[in-house]
Chain A
């Protein structure tokens, strides 16, 4: 039995090409149409892949045709972009995909959930047999090991998530934090939403245009504050997000220092994403004030990405060990697999059982 993988990903195609093949076909249909003994379709926004086991060679083009939404010249033109991995290469590729090493943002963990979902769908449809079962159970185990034994998932890699991450490093639980959004721009709104999703309940929005403040406040479940009151609010809130279009800094050390006397034991985290900046840089020198502008947030995001890249080698080592073991198991004719049930459910228990 040959294990192989055929697919397209963000590495070699644009979204236009991928959408011609994405989310169109289920595993069982791929199985029937392509002549595979077992098949599984993994379709995400960054990749469309078929993992299959077959007695005979199944041409890449046949799989690509099966995945295609339509049979047009335009779609046929993308067939050449499909890559193919056989046997050990296929195993390695899946382990890398499940561990987030092949993702656009290295180390992202969403792909593992998507892979589990795809496996569950194939298992339910009866398209995944013992070969794919062993392959995917091992892939989940590898992904878990990579996540716990490396720092591939460490740190936030976007401006919004860095801001939220820093807020958590300062305040821990964000449920008791109050946030003031000054200037209702798109990035500040997005950051505010991210904070709300982490439990922030007290959110205030202040903008030169009261209507805009009301609209944004409504959308994030907060309340609007008059623009002439925003400075007083700085004495109360824990997090200040500013993104106004002011040409001069709105907040200086002289303005903020008197307000801090009432709240000396509580930190103030300021996220200044305005260009030009809304907050004078010397504000950071005040005790308990942590000022981050767009450059510093971006630099931290890049630092996190660099750390993740450094961890790739460690992750690859873990993967190589598992690939060698899995190849050995395949060479032994999946003897061990035959003693295990063919289609166990994918719950946490089954994963643990397979690990044991």
Chain B
């Protein structure tokens, strides 16, 4: 039953993508109305799915890779809802929706929704650690999307080839400000997640810990480089994409090892 909610949610995000493509083909795009509504509706269905799952499990619904992916997609949509209107980045919907759809379609298609053998014991530190880290992933994902938008905008300005999308993307400096804020949000939440990981009271594989610290250091380096002017905004935007790819690989590794090493 709860999977149907996820399917409806995916359809909402797909509608947002289809609308964007149709509008752009016609050379018209009004980002503030339809996309925000479609993404908002998709977010409501995502929340309903996670809520039902959470009640059934009696804990935060991040017990297998399927739930983890949906949780990341939910946090991406959450940040979009929060950051979008504030930074006038509603076109993020055009970039957010494809990412969410990719994540959710994969989660629905792949045979990864396997119930955990035996009921997992409640561990509030572990749940806090996992959920806060995944929300940080949402911020990193949006920073990655804003990075893509920055590079698209930058490329058009450099080559003097201004396409329809150029007129609907936010100004470069606004995008860079949004990237910086999202990086700060993500980095702060990820730091809390990392620290809380030491209180879970369970032994964790050292490779996971090293990789998690590696991702933390990478984002720390991006922020440091941004403030010490080591990197131009274009490089910061590119590093956001690299950073998120690394973070996703780590997340995959964590959930994969968690599932294969469960007794």
Interfacial residues, chain A to chain B (CB-CB below 8 A)? 148-151, 154-155, 166, 168-172, 261, 264-267, 284, 287-288, 290, 292, 296, 299-300, 303, 307, 310-311, 314
Say which residue of B27, B160, B233 sits within 8 Å of A292 (CB atoms).
B160
Question: Does residue B22 face the partner (Cβ distance < 8 Å to A)?
Answer: no
B27 and A265 within 8 A (CB) = no
- Extra inter-chain contacts (4) besides given A149-B28, A170-B157, A264-B232, CB under 8 Å: A155-B162, A169-B157, A265-B176, A267-B173
Q: Say yes or no: A172-B173 contact (C-beta < 8 A), given A265-B232, A265-B233, A287-B234.
A: yes
* Nearest CB in chain B: distance from A302 CB, A: 12
Taking CB atoms, residues of chain A closer than 8 Å to B229 are: 261, 264-265
Q: Which of B192-246 contact A (CB under 8 A)?
A: 226, 229, 231-235
Contact B173–A171 (Cβ < 8 Å): yes
Contact A310 B173 (CB under 8 A): no
A310: nearest residue on chain B (CB-CB)? B27
Who on chain A is nearest to B161 by CB? Answer: A303
A171 to B175, CA, bound (A): 10
How many angstroms between the C-alpha atoms of A310 and B233 in the bound complex?
35
1/0 per residue, CB under 8 A from A, across B17-54: the answer is 00000000011101000000000000000000000000
Chain A residues near B173 (CB, 8 Å)?
A: 170-172, 266-267
Asked whether A287 lies within 8 Å of B232 as measured between CB atoms, the reply is yes
Q: How far is the CA of A210 from the CA of B27 in the complex (A)?
A: 48
Query: Which one of B160, B233, B234 contacts A300 once the chains associate, using CB atoms below 8 Å?
Result: B160
What would 13 A/B residue contacts be, using CB atoms closer than 8 Å?
Answer: A148-B30, A151-B28, A169-B167, A169-B171, A170-B157, A171-B171, A264-B232, A265-B176, A287-B232, A288-B232, A292-B160, A296-B160, A307-B164
For the complex, give the distance between the alpha carbons of A155 and B27 in Å: 12
- Enumerate chain A residues within 8 angstroms of B231, measured Cβ to Cβ: 264
A166 to B226, CA, bound (A): 25
Let me know if A169 and B172 touch, CB within 8 A: yes
7 closest residue pairs by CB, A with B? A172-B171, A287-B232, A264-B229, A296-B160, A172-B174, A290-B157, A170-B172
Judge whether B166 is part of the interface by a CB distance below 8 angstroms: yes
A168 to B162, CA, bound (A): 14
Structural contact, A303 and B162, CB atoms closer than 8 A: yes
Q: How far is B15's CA from A92's CA once the two chains are assembled, in angstroms?
A: 36
Chain B residue numbers with a CB within 8 Å of A171 are: 171-173
Contact in complex: B171, A170 (CB < 8 Å)? yes
8 A Cβ contacts from B167-182 to A? 167, 169-174, 176
Across-interface contacts of A154 in B (CB, < 8 A): 167
